[in-house]
Chain A
Amino acid sequence: MKIAVCIKRVPDSETRVKIAADGKSLDEAGVKFILNPYDEFAVEEALQRKEQAGSGEVVVIALGPAAAQETIRTALAMGADRGTLLQADRIPADGLAAATALAAELKGGGYDLILFGKMAIDDYNHQVGPMVAELLDLPCVTTVAHLEIEGGKGVAEREIEGGLEVVEFPLPAVLTTDKGLNEPRYPALKGIMAAKKKPLDVKPAALGAGRMEVVAMTPPPDRKEGKIVGEGGAAVAELVRLLREEAKVL
């Protein structure tokens, strides 16, 4: 099994978001960066598939600034074999631009599986995986929460509104991973030491033309000052009145 996993460096979900002076981006001062949590599921799945097959290679690829080498090292510490950084000063807002660069790197790599997270928790773009699949003309299943692979075929389950979709696909394929697929491992000390010696290539990212311009980044509108209606069961009647007469939602 030769498997590629695309991983993204993102701000920790606990980050207090401060908007930079340009009014269009995150002020990164003091921000802690992590491996995108959904990509952890993808790395874990790749490692388990390789372990089950008894042989193979897990390659991780990140597009981002030089600091994304740390993100790659995290995946290497989990057990991936080697990494590639497609270096770019900024990760484009346009998911198709990122997908184009990743697809160029993946093309001709001879992978049985190419894995992505279902989305990055910073931009919430929710698109790079299936775009890469289209660019490489590979079958693709997104938001996979359960997966079985046998021979050259796979069956995946994905959550949809009101149920689960059971999807069949041939390999090689692109999959994007959702929570529930597995429990990502923590890198052990031994893994962290080993990761330092694993190969990590750095090359410039061949970004496609961006078709998206960030006009502004703004704080979410403050919700109107709420009110405590009261305490305990005695407040229920007043709550219902307000929901009917003021909020008009009942």
Chain B
Amino acid sequence: MLAVLEQRDGALRKVSHEVVTGARRLADALGGSVDALLLAAGGVKGADQLGRFGADKVITLTNAAFGMYAPEGYARVIAERAATGGYRAVVFAASATGKDLAPRVAARLGCALAQDVTDVGVEAGAVVVTRPVYAGKALLTLKLAGTPALVSLRPNVFTPVERPRAGVVESAAVDGSAGRVVVQRIRAADAGALDVAEAPIVVSGGRGLKEPANFKVLEELAAAFAGRAAVGASRAVVDAGWRPHADQVGQTGKTVSPTLYVAVGISGAIQHLAGMRTSKVIVAINKDKDAPIFKVADYGIVGDLFEVVPKLTEEIKKLHG
């Protein structure tokens, strides 16, 4: 297996552990090893830890232009590796980068790609994946013919597990241009803010918040989780300009799969559910006991969010205090 990992500013991104974990699972089923691949401008912090999660080898390919994502350069180098390395599967993260990169590699190799999968396995020697379609209203099980099979893994679904392997670290320089498409820079959102698509806990607010300033209540709740939570939003409040589009959860926003999703003042429209129904545990706080969100929630509180949420914030603070 070839596990294509991600770095930003020379540090490993969290999804990388999930990609190694998914690749390990396939390697165990098919009988094989996991090569973890990093493209970077230099050494990547954390690369030497990947053996813990099941990488047999960690290969860092360096190029002065690979510090930032370089779509064409990355695709070329990965496709070359995949074609010559005899891999049965190439595993990406279904992150913003992975979803852009994987189709390019697939087209270069002439191989099938399943994006944003929530499960991978092997049947009769073929890679079989499960992925949500129709806004999560159905699951498709697909068998990928030909090798390598390409998959990208939905973030937060493949919980990293410790599967110690050698994790031998190698590094080599690669030549060649980064390509015609150049990432000039990244305009960062608030420093340190977690992205909803990657946060282990998401606290989302909807029209029930009444006005933008009231999102403070949710920000305080998120803060109580001590750096593990991000604030999300329904489309209704994004369209109203209360929250940025980057925070929108749902069909036309982000797909999230956190350990804990707390929906506050959100009715639970089908397009919202599309973005969060694979969360591990869902909590709903809504004053309407018939709100559809309660149908997918594991735990619900019927009540006024302005009373319930501050109390919840206090309780969570106690846990972390």
B71 contacts partner chain A, Cβ-Cβ < 8 Å? yes
Distance from B284 Cβ to chain A, minimum over Cβ atoms (Å): 8
User: Given A13-B135, A134-B108, A223-B277, do A240 and B319 touch, yes or no (CB 8 Å)?
Assistant: yes
Could you tell me if A165 and B69 are in contact, using CB atoms closer than 8 angstroms?
yes
* B316 at interface, CB cutoff 8 A: yes
> How does the 8 Å CB contact mask read for B112-151 relative to A, with 1 for contact and 0 for none?
1111100000000000100111111111111111100000
Interface size class of B (residues with CB under 8 A): 35 or more
Residues of A contacting B195 in the complex (Cβ-Cβ under 8 angstroms): 161-162
CB of A78 within 8 Å of the partner chain? no
Structural contact, B298 and A213, CB atoms closer than 8 A: no
**Distance between A43 CB and nearest chain B CB, rounded to angstroms:** 16
**B247 → chain A closest CB, angstroms:** 11
Write out, one digit per residue, whether chain A residues 202-233 have a CB within 8 A of any chain B CB (1) or not (0): 00000000011111111111011011111111
Take A212-B114, A232-B308, A239-B312 as given contacts and tell me if A165 and B141 are in contact as well, using a CB distance cutoff of 8 Å: no
| Nearest CB on B from A151, distance (A) | 15
Q: With A and B bound together, what is the CA distance between A159 and B255 in angstroms?
A: 13
Query: Does A149 reach chain B (CB closer than 8 Å)?
Result: no
Is there contact, CB below 8 Å, between A163 and B183?
A: no
**B102 CB–A CB distance under 8 Å:** yes
Decide if A131 touches B103 in the complex (CB within 8 Å): yes
Contact A130 B107 (CB under 8 A): yes
B36 to chain A, nearest CB (A): 20
CB of B185 within 8 A of chain A? yes
Least distance between A141 CB and chain B CB atoms (Å) = 6
Nearest-CB distance from B125 to chain A (Å)? Answer: 14
Interface string of A111-138 (1 = CB under 8 A from B): 0000000000111111111111111000
Instruction: Name which of B100, B139, B187, B277 has the most chain A CB atoms within 10 A of its CB.
Output: B100
Task: Report whether B302 and A228 are in contact in the complex, using a CB–CB cutoff of 8 Å.
Answer: yes
Q: Does A189 contact B (CB under 8 A)?
A: no
Q: Is B158 an interface residue (CB 8 A)?
A: no
Q: Is B297 an interface residue (CB 8 A)?
A: yes
Using known A-B contacts A164-B186, A214-B140, A220-B132, determine if residue A142 contacts B99 with beta carbons closer than 8 Å. yes
A249 to B319, CA, bound (A): 12
Among B111, B181, B194, B260, point to the contact of A141 (Cβ < 8 A).
B181
Q: Say yes or no: B252 contacts A37, CB within 8 Å.
A: yes
Question: 1/0 contact trace for B172-191 toward A, CB 8 Å?
Answer: 00000001111111111100
B31 to chain A, nearest CB (A): 22
Point out the residues of chain A lying under 8 angstroms from B297, CB to CB: 226
Instruction: Give every chain B residue within 8 A of A247 (Cβ-Cβ).
Output: 260, 280-281, 298-299
- Inter-subunit contact A169/B303 (CB<8 Å): no
The answer to whether A134 and B107 have CB atoms under 8 Å apart is yes
Task: Judge whether A143 is part of the interface by a CB distance below 8 angstroms.
Answer: yes
The segment from A52-60, A63-71, A89-97, A191-199 that touches chain B is A89-97
B270 within 8 A of A: yes
Report yes or no: B138 in contact with A161, Cβ–Cβ below 8 A: no
CB pair A124–B132 under 8 Å, yes or no, is yes
- Are B139 and A219 within 8 A (Cβ)? yes
Q: Is the CB of A96 within 8 A of B299?
A: no
Chain B residue nearest to A134 in the complex (CB): B107
- Closest A residue to B307 by beta carbon equals A233
Whether the pair A227, B245 counts as a contact (CB closer than 8 A) is no
Point out the residue from B144, B188, B296 that lies within 8 Å of A163, measured CB to CB: B188
Q: B137, A220: Cβ atoms under 8 Å?
A: yes
CB pair A212–B112 under 8 Å, yes or no, is yes
Q: Does A242 count as interface, using CB distance less than 8 angstroms? A: yes
Q: Does B83 contact A (CB under 8 A)?
A: no
Most buried by A among B97, B295, B299, B304: B299
Give B274-318 interface residues, CB cut-off 8 Å to A: 277, 280-283, 289, 294-304, 307-308, 311-312, 315-316
Known: A127-B113, A167-B183, A218-B138. A239 touches B103 (CB 8 A): no
**Is B134 touching A127 in the complex (CB atoms < 8 A)?**
no
Across the interface, A13 reaches (CB within 8 A) one of B100, B270, B301, namely B270
A166 on the B face (CB < 8 A): yes
Question: Could you write out 23 A-B pairs with CB less than 8 Å apart?
Answer: A17-B137, A19-B138, A123-B133, A127-B103, A130-B100, A131-B107, A139-B72, A140-B71, A163-B188, A163-B189, A165-B183, A167-B184, A169-B180, A169-B181, A170-B180, A211-B111, A212-B142, A214-B141, A226-B297, A231-B302, A233-B307, A239-B283, A244-B319
Task: Name the 8 nearest CB pairs between A and B, nearest first.
Answer: A134-B107, A211-B112, A127-B103, A161-B195, A160-B96, A232-B303, A17-B137, A131-B107
B→A interface (CB under 8 Å): 13, 69, 71-72, 75, 94-97, 99-100, 102-104, 106-108, 110-116, 128, 131-146, 179-189, 193-195, 197-198, 245-246, 251-253, 259-260, 270-271, 277, 280-283, 289, 294-304, 307-308, 311-312, 315-316, 319
